[in-house]
Amino acid sequence: MSAEFAAKVFALVDGTDAAGFSRLFAPQGRMRFGNGEPMTGPEEIAAGVAGFFATIKGLRHTVVREWYAGADTIIEETVDYFRLAGDTVTVPAVTMFHVDETGLIDDFRVYFDLAPLFA
């Protein structure tokens, strides 16, 4: 994978474009967001991500470190969440994903503690 593809992933997420983000996934691609249940397939992922976006005003990822090994990507980041109340909460996170032979994501995982966002 590449830094360009990772930048596209984060640009779509930071733009709160759930549909565009979901189009990066293979038909049976899976996404696990924190400790939530995995979502499977672009439609389920789009709905789940859009549901989360509805709970915030917006968000911004800042890459801290990144690693690429073949089809695997690991990104350490901080994420600024702009809350509906008007303030901002920053949370450290790690995003890991794998792409299949067609270049679509087949496994996507985000590890973080969102408790501060909803406190």
Per-residue model confidence as pLDDT tens digits over 98-109: 999 999 999 999
The pLDDT of residue 47: 97
Output Rg (C-alpha) for the chain, integer angstroms: 14
Kindly report the pTM of this predicted structure: 0.92
Would you say residue 1 has pLDDT above 70? no
Q: In what order do the strands lie in the sheet with 72-83?
A: 39-40, 25-33, 105-112, 88-99, 72-83, 56-69
Query: Strand, coil or helix: what is 82?
Result: strand
List pLDDT tens digits, range 10-69: 999 999 999 999 999 999 999 998 888 999 999 999 999 999 999 999 999 999 999 999
Check residues 114 and 43 and name the one with the higher pLDDT. Answer: 43
Q: Are strands 105-112 and 56-69 parallel, antiparallel or unpaired?
A: unpaired
The pLDDT of residue 17: 97
List pLDDT tens digits, range 62-93: 999 999 999 999 999 999 999 999 999 999 99
